[in-house]
Structure 1
Amino acid sequence: MNIFFLGAVAIIAYILQIFLGMKQIKNFNSVYIRMKRKGKVAIGRRPGRIASGTILLLGVDSTGIIQEAEMMQGTSILARFKPRPQFTGIDIHQLTDSSILTNENKLTRKAAANAQKIYLEVEKGNHQDKAPVSPIFNLGNQLSLMKLSIQEKLSKKDENSAFRSSYHEK
Structure 2
Amino acid sequence: MVTALITVAVIAWICQLALGGWQIHQFNRAFNALCQQGRVGVGRSGGRFKPRVVIAVALDDQHRVCDTLIMRGLTVFARPAKIPAINGLFLQELEPDVIFPHDSLCQNALSLALNLKHG
User: What TM-score do the two structures reach when normalised by structure 1?
Assistant: 0.64
The CA distance in 1 between the partners of 2:38 and 2:76, in whole Å, is: 28
1:1-170 alignment runs, 5 A limit:
2-96=1-95, 99-102=98-101, 104-117=102-115, 119-120=116-117, 123=118
Q: Is the 8 A contact 1:48 1:75 kept in 2?
A: no
Q: Is the 8 A contact 2:40 2:59 kept in 1?
A: yes
Larger radius of gyration: 1
User: Identity across aligned pairs (percent)?
Assistant: 26
Over residues 113-155 of structure 1, what are the superposed CA-to-partner deviations in whole Å (9 max), with x where a residue is unaligned?
01112x13xx47xxxxxxxxxxxxxxxxxxxxxxxxxxxxxxx
RMSD: 1.8
Q: Is the 8 A contact 2:42 2:54 kept in 1?
A: yes
- Give the deviation of 1:97 after TM superposition: 6.6
Q: Is the 8 A contact 1:48 1:54 kept in 2?
A: no
Over residues 84-127 of structure 1, what are the superposed CA-to-partner deviations in whole Å (9 max), with x where a residue is unaligned?
1012122224423773343x51111111101112x13xx47xxx
| Higher helix residue share | 1
Q: Is the 8 A contact 2:37 2:58 kept in 1?
A: yes
Q: Is the 8 A contact 1:57 1:69 kept in 2?
A: yes
Count of matched residue pairs: 119
Give the secondary-structure state (helix, strand or coil) at the position aligned to 2:94.
helix
Structure with more relative contact order (C-alpha pairs < 8 Å, separation 6 or more): 2
Deviating runs (4+, > 6 A) in structure 1? none
Give the secondary-structure state (helix, strand or coil) at the position aligned to 1:59.
strand
The answer for unaligned runs of 5 or more in structure 2 is none
Q: Is the 8 A contact 1:93 1:116 kept in 2?
A: no
Q: Is the 8 A contact 1:96 1:116 kept in 2?
A: no
